[in-house]
Structure 1
Amino acid sequence: MDEPKPLTSAFNRTANFSIHQVDSVFRAAAHAAAVPAAVPVTLPPTLGPLSAFAGTFTGQGFNTIFRPDSATTPTQMPGPINTTDPPDNVLELNLTDETMSFSNNLGSIPNRGSGPQADAFLNGVPYLQTINDVTTGTPVGIHFEPGIWLAVPSSTNPHEPFTVARMASIPHGTTITAQGTALPAVAGKPTIAAVDITPFFGGNPANKFTFQNQTAANKTTRRLPQDLTALIASGKLTQAMITDPNTVLRHQIAHQTISQTIIIETSTKPNSPLSGGPLPAVPSAGPHPQAPNFAGGTSNIAFLLGVPAPPPGGNGANANAFQMDAVFWIETVIYDIDVPRIGSGEPPIILQPLQKGTVPLVPSFVATLPFVPNKAYAGGRVRVATTQIQYSQKVMLDFNGLTWPHVSVASLVPAAPVPIPEHLLPLT
């Protein structure tokens, strides 16, 4: 990370708040009145892979979106326009700076079964995502998303395995519920498939329409930024990134030592299917957990939906977000840190890993020792494992007779310095 990030919590929630079923409280109260005794402690349901979503993560990413260009309020381009593209869209490219804050889990969330289906007890992790555009060097807020990740136990009605779900609200006027599964942990780093931003006709991804604003060298199209010369010269933006935004994710992990990866696949239309569908987590065929047969969806305000043609005044959707697919990679990354001699009880030392020179985004680390008189850590190189979150998300937008993929990717690392375990800093 180039600059330290403020660690102010993004949440202001009542301390120790958690959800429990109300009827258990009444039973416990009745039992205590009859036989005064300690009420047994009930542990919250498992979070499964969502247990990695803890604390605050920060990082960098890339966002691409074809947005409508109204004839009434056209987007003014910085330079001249000389293109044969139809004047119905602007391709916006954003280099991004992101913060993802996770709150404590919500506890035991009762969902009541009917008939033979037993009650299901969910658990959830609230989160807040904020994204700034930093393409010009001046941060501009472009995304704000409060939401909840849910861990959903297996059920018989419907017959589904353990799944995870993401519920989110986006201030443009869209809410989503995306459900999916976590693949078994694999050793090493993930294989991240390509993702294509090219719009297409008739709901058929094979029937593509490539626009001139997708060509980085073209300086006279409807695109923001319009002239990419300086960004390309600096290495901050490439044609490969526009063609396949997941290039950014592969660049982050190219020189990293990753011991384990957990893959979470979610969709608002999970029977696509997830793997091998619009955004495959694994490019080759292979065994995958059963995905939900039905679930989720998107909901949009009337402005986004528009009025279908041909009714009077109907021009179709302004920008109907009708599907979202996303893959999250939860990676365990190993870093090497050179720790100097530290006297027992000395102030904590913030350190950078040796990988800082070869990896675009790394966390910092903190070394601290308990106070033991006349003892010290002699200094040396240590290896520390910590969590990294990467994601690739594709939202399908409908306007002007095409489907327009809106792709966002990011790599996120712990915002606070990662503590170096004390057993790696023996006192002598």
Structure 2
Amino acid sequence: MTTPHVFRAGAPANLATLRSLRELPGRWMGKGFNLISRPDKHDEQPFFLQLSATQETIEFAPIGAPVPNRGSAQDDIFFRGVHYTQQIADAATGGALHFETGMWLDVPATTAPAAPETVTRLATIPHGDALLAQGKPLAVPGGPRIDPVDSTPITTSTGKPVTDDKYLAPFKNTALPVGIPAEAVLNPNVLLTDAIKGQKITETVVLPLSTTDAIGGTAGGIQNIPFVVANANATSMTAVFWIEKVEDPVLGHFLQLQYTQTIILRFLGIDWPHINVATLIKQ
């Protein structure tokens, strides 16, 4: 007698089982800012500083069934999660700037390795990059604490800020997109703090991510095709996403998603921060 196959059936999602990710499913839309120093061999220049005001959409949907990870040192664990598509365009021209697909997973606490509950993000982009990042979620009363982020390029060999004005001048002289304040070039997170001034945020779920900070072992990393490695190697990523519950006297209650993300691009012996920030509203 043939043993029948056992299949995992999909079912209507119980969003509560997503825990810290439970508010993500749905469509989020908003605007932000993109700062990237990219190689410019084409124009015989060391690099080009691109500054863009952005418009963005992220769509999240629950994964249809629990995902089993089979254990040998401990019993099996099951992931819940969401898959997503992110699209970013230039706010002035409508031209595409970024397209990304991936998943967020809620990983339960484990004994082998000894680790608390974490969230994991898996992402791919069509430049030929794939990343795996991890962090420990938390919920806090009130609004988020958004620290400054620094766009200053760093000399790879010394770990110290670049001092050559050849590389710093574009950060002072590049024309700003409409609506982007001058201080956002050195600290793009100012756009996030400006966006929530005067808002009443009653609760924030914090989702930190890193490709380098280990929790219970290795954290993940970035894999790139050889062309990317040779020309603008993406070496690490850090990010924080904030899911915010907002009370507004006119709009009532709504959900807001803010994030800041820094990817380090390495070329010319320099580590260049590529920074994206955005404030999105759940539709």
The question of a shared fold, defined as TM-score above 0.5 by the shorter chain, is answered with: yes
Give 2:83's aligned residue.
126
Matched, 1:151 2:106: yes
The code of the aligned residue for 1:305 comes to V
Q: 1:297 pairs with 177, 196, 221, which one?
A: 221
CA–CA separation in structure 2 for the residues paired with 1:101 and 1:178: 19
For residues 74-107 of structure 1, give each alpha carbon's deviation from its aligned partner in whole angstroms, at most 9, with x where no partner exists. 17xxxxxxxxxxx311100010000000113332
- TM-score, normalised with respect to structure 1: 0.61
The code of the aligned residue for 2:82 comes to V
Q: 1:198 pairs with 152, 156, 171, which one?
A: 152
The code of the aligned residue for 1:401 comes to G
Deviation at 1:385, TM superposition (A): 1.9
% identical equivalent positions: 39
- TM-score, normalised with respect to structure 2: 0.90
Matched, 1:334 2:202: no
Deviation at 1:158, TM superposition (A): 1.2
Matched, 1:55 2:29: no
Deviation at 1:268, TM superposition (A): 0.9
Matched, 1:112 2:44: no
Matched, 1:407 2:278: no
Deviation at 1:237, TM superposition (A): 1.9
CA–CA separation in structure 1 for the residues paired with 2:219 and 2:64: 22
- The 5 A counterparts of 1:155-194 are 155-183=110-138, 185-194=139-148
Q: 1:323 pairs with 225, 230, 236, which one?
A: 236
Runs of 5+ unmatched residues, structure 1:
1-21, 29-40, 76-86, 219-225, 272-290, 307-317, 338-352, 354-383, 416-428
CA–CA separation in structure 2 for the residues paired with 1:194 and 1:88: 27
Instruction: Tell me, yes or no, if the aligned pair for 2:157 and 2:269 is still in contact at 8 Å.
Output: no
- Structure 1 runs, 4 residues or longer, greater than 4 Å off: 22-26, 41-45
Which structure has more strand as a fraction of its residues?
Answer: 2
Kindly report the root-mean-square deviation, in angstroms, between the aligned alpha carbons of the 2 structures.
Answer: 2.3
Runs of 5+ unmatched residues, structure 2:
none
Instruction: Tell me, yes or no, if the aligned pair for 1:45 and 1:121 is still in contact at 8 Å.
Output: no
CA–CA separation in structure 1 for the residues paired with 2:16 and 2:32: 33
Does 1 or 2 have the higher relative contact order (CA < 8 Å, sep 6+)? 2
Count of matched residue pairs:
275
Q: 1:98 pairs with 38, 41, 56, which one?
A: 56
- The 5 A counterparts of 1:20-35 are 25=7
CA–CA separation in structure 1 for the residues paired with 2:274 and 2:38: 9
CA–CA separation in structure 2 for the residues paired with 1:326 and 1:24: 39
CA–CA separation in structure 1 for the residues paired with 2:5 and 2:219: 28
Instruction: Tell me, yes or no, if the aligned pair for 2:131 and 2:211 is still in contact at 8 Å.
Output: yes
